[in-house]
């Protein structure tokens, strides 16, 4: 591509760092000189310049506007990373979360002044229990992995309460990667159970391993291959018969909401990512919320605090003494206050605006869209397993054999076509994975253009070889990065640039 004098590409403008825009003497504001005052800093007054760049107001506005235009977002285009990173969040839910009565609430307010907020949390809990068929829910976990921790700590507390010293947790290799980390953090020894040729957990290996030393099984369903574990009821019965607990990772709950109740599958605990399944913008680290639903056996050990409703209205059980009077034995407290309240508001608003039928349709549409992609691309890309899939379509890199193009090259070329790449190299059970989650909101037209784009890229890889792919992306503000250098030696402070430190 021909380079331009300015570095700009049409109306996509090259943007220096704000320090590089420094125009000494320029300022966006004029501050009135302070009135005479008595210096009380005791010699701590700054001696030199503060080092901030000088810019006029138009320079500042243009700088940050250009930076905002470099973001790729769900509002800008299709995001095949799906609910795992960012699905569409209706604006209505954001508006409700910003109502002053919700947005300005403080965790230290007297309970009498937050009856509406506690009623909302109680209402949300009832929705979650209804959707999962579970009798109890802990709202306080702040994210999915935090919810896993909550469930496994409840399991540990239940084992301790019955004097049981089981120490082994079985985790299928098709489970989420956080599962073994959570079990290990709770002091358990983790053993991996292999997947079978269908991409599901090898149930024969799992049931053969059950024994008096097994504390729990942690199983993701639908699993990370985008497949439903069809033997799950048989497995949960076998786990319980062996005296262990059955943890179900609910990160992929978006695929089964309104269609399957995990309580009917035999789960003892499952976290629900409100931000993935219902509504809250969360890509890039938060905020999120990971309430954990619990079975009758684990309900007494749910963490503090929790909401109760009696003749005095809504109130929080916040201490072991109050819990003891309420007939429970919480394992403790997971976070400082009462959960991610703004996420609660968005999730409940989503549930109430969708209704039970709407939630069921959303999960159905998510699965339908993924299967449309799988069916349309399985002869072009290489499908890892026979369909149908759930909400994610999984492919691997066999279709790139002998082209010299890697999964990473293919994904980078997708950026030049205006798409954020899909999940790559995960799950680890297949080589060179490309995991595509379209979610429920994408139209037929959007999916058809995406499918046609992938088919064209695959054709170019076969016909033209690797050279063009190795250079991709070429149409972005920055070209192909040395990702290892960018991740391990990021240049986060502004200094006069040294080329050997630059990632590009």
- Give burial (CB, 10 Å; 0-12/13-18/19+) of 402: exposed
Alpha helices in 270-340 (DSSP H): 274-277, 320-325
Distance of CA 503 to the CA centre of its chain: 27
Using an 8 Å Cβ cutoff, are 222 and 250 in contact? no
Looking at residue 491, its pLDDT comes to 82
pLDDT per residue over 204-226, tens digit each? 999 999 999 999 999 999 999 99
Of the candidate CATH numbers 3.40.50.300, 3.30.565.10, 3.40.640.10, 3.60.9.10, the domain formed by 92-349 belongs to 3.40.640.10
Strand segments, DSSP code E, in 82-166 are 136-138
Same fold for the domain at 92-349 and the one at 355-475? no
| CATH architecture of structural domain 355-475 | Alpha-Beta Complex (3.90)
Distance of CA 481 to the CA centre of its chain: 24
Residue by residue, pLDDT tens for the chain (504 residues) are: 567 787 788 888 889 999 899 998 899 888 898 899 888 888 888 888 788 899 999 999 999 999 998 888 888 899 898 877 788 999 999 999 999 999 999 999 999 999 999 999 999 999 999 999 999 999 999 999 999 999 999 999 999 999 999 999 999 998 888 999 999 999 999 999 999 999 999 999 999 999 999 999 999 999 999 999 999 999 999 999 999 999 999 999 999 999 999 999 999 999 999 999 998 888 766 688 999 999 999 999 999 999 999 998 999 999 999 999 999 999 999 999 999 999 999 999 999 999 999 999 999 999 999 999 999 999 999 999 988 999 999 999 999 999 999 999 999 999 999 999 999 999 988 999 999 999 999 999 999 999 999 999 999 999 988 999 999 999 888 889 888 998 999 888 777 555 555 555
Q: Which among 414, 410, 409, 416 has a CA at the least distance from the CA of 476? A: 416
Quickly list DSSP for 347-403: HHHHHHHHHHHHHHHHHHHHHHHHHHHHHHHTTTTEESS-S--SS-EEEEGGGGTTT
Quickly list DSSP for 2-17: PPPSSS-BTTB-----
Joined together, the tokens standing for residue 450 give 């995406």
pTM to 2 decimals? Answer: 0.89
Segment 230-233 long-range contacts (CB within 8 Å, at least 24 positions apart): 230/200, 231/200, 231/201, 231/203, 232/265, 232/266, 233/265, 233/266
Q: Which residues contact 461 (CB under 8 A, 6 or more apart)?
A: 400, 403, 405, 410, 469
CA distances (Å), origin 393, targets 328, 376, 426: 43, 11, 12
Looking at residue 101, its pLDDT comes to 93
Distance of alpha carbon 185 from alpha carbon 148, whole angstroms: 11
Going by the DSSP 8-state scheme, the letter that residue 303 receives in this structure is P
Distance of alpha carbon 389 from alpha carbon 371, whole angstroms: 6
pLDDT per residue over 431-465, tens digit each? 999 999 999 999 999 999 999 999 999 999 999 88
Distance of alpha carbon 415 from alpha carbon 421, whole angstroms: 7
Using an 8 Å Cβ cutoff, are 234 and 203 in contact? yes
Looking at residue 285, its pLDDT comes to 63
Using an 8 Å Cβ cutoff, are 218 and 169 in contact? yes
Which sequence spans correspond to the domains of the chain? 92-349, 355-475
């Amino acid at each position: 591509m021909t380079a331009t004098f300015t570095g700009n590409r049409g109306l996509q403008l090259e943007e220096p760092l704000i320090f590089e825009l420094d125009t000494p003497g320029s300022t966006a504001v004029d501050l009135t000189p302070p009135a005479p005052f008595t210096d009380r800093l005791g010699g701590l007054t700054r001696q030199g310049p503060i080092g901030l760049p000088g810019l006029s107001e138009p320079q500042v506005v243009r700088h940050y506007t250009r930076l905002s235009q470099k973001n790729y977002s769900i509002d800008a285009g299709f995001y095949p990373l799906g609910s795992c990173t960012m699905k569409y969040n209706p604006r209505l839910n954001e508006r409700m979360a910003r109502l002053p009565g919700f947005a300005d609430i403080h965790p230290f307010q007297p309970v009498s002044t937050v009856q509406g907020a506690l009623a909302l949390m109680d209402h949300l809990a009832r929705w979650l229990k209804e959707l999962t068929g579970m009798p109890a829910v802990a709202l306080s976990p702040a994210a999915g992995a935090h919810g896993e921790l909550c469930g496994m700590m409840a399991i540990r507390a239940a084992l301790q309460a019955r004097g049981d010293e089981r120490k082994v947790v079985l985790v299928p290799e098709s489970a989420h990667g956080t599962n073994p980390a959570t079990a290990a953090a709770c002091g358990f020894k983790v053993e991996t159970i292999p997947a079978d040729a269908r991409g599901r957990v090898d149930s024969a290996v799992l049931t053969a391993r059950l024994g008096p030393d097994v504390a729990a099984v942690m199983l993701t369903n639908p699993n990370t291959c985008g497949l439903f574990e069809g033997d799950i009821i048989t497995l949960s019965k076998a786990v319980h018969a062996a005296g262990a607990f059955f943890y179900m990772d609910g990160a992929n709950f978006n695929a089964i909401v309104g269609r399957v109740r995990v309580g009917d599958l035999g789960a003892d605990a499952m976290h629900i990512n409100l931000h993935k399944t219902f509504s809250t913008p969360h890509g890039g680290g938060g905020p999120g919320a990971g309430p954990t639903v619990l079975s009758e056996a684990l309900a007494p050990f749910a963490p503090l605090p929790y909401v109760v409703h009696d003749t005095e209205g809504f109130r929080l059980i916040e201490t072991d003494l109050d819990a003891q009077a309420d007939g429970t034995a919480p394992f403790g407290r997971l976070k400082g206050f009462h959960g991610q309240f703004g996420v609660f508001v968005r999730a409940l608003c989503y549930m109430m605006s969708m209704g039970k039928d709407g939630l069921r349709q959303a999960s159905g549409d998510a699965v339908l869209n993924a299967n449309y992609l799988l069916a349309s691309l399985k002869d072009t890309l290489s499908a890892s397993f026979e369909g149908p899939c759930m909400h994610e379509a999984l492919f691997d890199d066999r279709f790139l054999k002998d082209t010299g193009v890697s999964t990473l090259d293919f994904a980078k070329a997708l950026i030049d076509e205006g798409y954020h790449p899909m999940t790559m190299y995960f799950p680890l059970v297949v080589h060179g994975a490309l995991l595509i989650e379209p979610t429920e909101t994408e139209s037929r037209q959007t999916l058809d253009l995406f499918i046609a784009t992938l088919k064209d890229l695959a054709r170019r890889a076969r016909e033209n070889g690797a050279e063009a792919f190795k250079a991709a992306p070429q149409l972005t503000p920055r070209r192909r990065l040395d990702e290892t250098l960018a991740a391990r030696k990021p240049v986060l402070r502004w200094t006069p640039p040294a080329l050997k430190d630059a990632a590009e």
